[in-house]
């Protein structure tokens, strides 16, 4: 059985002024449904600007799962401008990534991972893709990974006797849900941000989900030549030890 208990990704930001921010994101982050309000700021409470499509009830859950997971990150970047330069090192069990970029680019990758591995009933649907996290992904890479991950889930549904969605209708609908969530979550983050990094990140995520919710088919057409221009006459290469 797939075990995610000890899986983690570590992000290390070395800012231009020498300041270092380190975040270790465990894939499993168990927390009680009801948390003492004294442990977290008011903007993390579920009822604080709750997402309009959130299925959680404030009677059963005291805090927003994404907000409590992202709290340390948001506070850490609260006074950092999105244009600030940084060296970002990302460490996984299999490999490491490095990018010299602006704070917004690194923070977007980190926040995206945290959101997808949170206990949010909507965002946790991306958990499978998050296990194969790709920092700093381009829009084409996001489309490729999203569509591939979704189609794999449909394969499993088919294997279990269900009806597979090969038209990606469920994926398009899902990104509309994410679009709503990102917009509403942005209002929550406004209360926690003093500089613009966090706001820029959520605005970018909002733009990406908006783009994918209305034009994912256009992006898939761009990728089609990679899979349709392969000549069937070409024999597979001979492999030898």
What does the DSSP assignment read for 43-76? Answer: GGBTTTT--TT----TTT-SB-HHHHHHHHHHHH
Q: Look up the domain containing 107 and give its range.
A: 9-221
Examine residue 90 and state whether it is found in any structural domain, yes or no: yes
Establish if 26 belongs to a structural domain. Answer: yes
**Strands ordered across the beta sheet of 8-15:** 20-26, 8-15, 85-91, 96-102
235 within domain boundaries = no
pLDDT at 236: 58
The number of distinct structural domains making up the chain is: 1
Question: Does 98 fall in a domain?
Answer: yes
Q: Determine, yes or no, domain membership for 234.
A: no
E strand or H helix at 86: strand 85-91
Mean pLDDT of the chain: 85
Residue 230, domain member (yes or no): no
Q: Is residue 207 part of a domain?
A: yes
Q: pLDDT (tens digit, 9 = 90+) per residue, 13-72? A: 999 889 999 999 999 988 889 998 788 888 899 999 999 999 999 999 999 999 999 888
**C-alpha closest to that of 104 among 15, 218, 6:** 15
Among 35, 107, 37, 122, which Cα is nearest to 72's? 107
- Within 10 Å of residue 117's Cβ, how many Cβ atoms? 26
pLDDT digits (tens, 9 = 90+) for 183-237: 888 888 777 665 455 556 666 665 666 667 667 888 888 889 988 865 555 555 5
Residue 228 maps to a domain = no
């Amino acid at each position: 059985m797939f075990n995610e208990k000890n899986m983690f990704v570590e992000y290390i930001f070395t800012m231009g002024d020498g300041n270092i921010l380190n975040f270790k994101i465990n894939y499993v982050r168990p927390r009680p449904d009801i948390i003492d309000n004294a442990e977290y700021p008011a903007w993390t409470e579920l009822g604080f600007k709750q997402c309009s499509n959130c299925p959680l009830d404030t009677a059963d859950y005291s805090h927003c799962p994404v907000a409590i997971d992202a709290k340390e990150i948001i506070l850490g970047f609260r006074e950092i401008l999105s244009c600030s330069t940084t060296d970002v090192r990302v460490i996984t069990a299999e490999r490491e990534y490095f990018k010299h970029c602006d704070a917004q680019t690194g923070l977007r990758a980190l926040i995206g991972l945290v959101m997808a591995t949170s206990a949010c009933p909507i965002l946790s649907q991306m958990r499978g893709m998050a296990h194969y996290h790709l920092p700093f992904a381009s829009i084409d890479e996001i489309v490729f990974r999203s569509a591939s991950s979704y189609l794999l889930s449909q394969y499993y549904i088919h294997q279990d006797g269900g009806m597979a969605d090969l038209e990606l209708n469920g994926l398009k609908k899902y990104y509309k849900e994410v679009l709503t969530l990102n917009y509403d979550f942005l209002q929550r983050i406004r209360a926690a941000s003093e500089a613009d990094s966090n706001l820029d990140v959520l605005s970018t995520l909002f733009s990406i989900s908006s783009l994918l919710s209305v034009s994912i088919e256009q992006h898939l057409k761009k990728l089609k030549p990679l899979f349709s221009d392969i000549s069937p006459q070409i024999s597979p290469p001979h492999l030898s030890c």
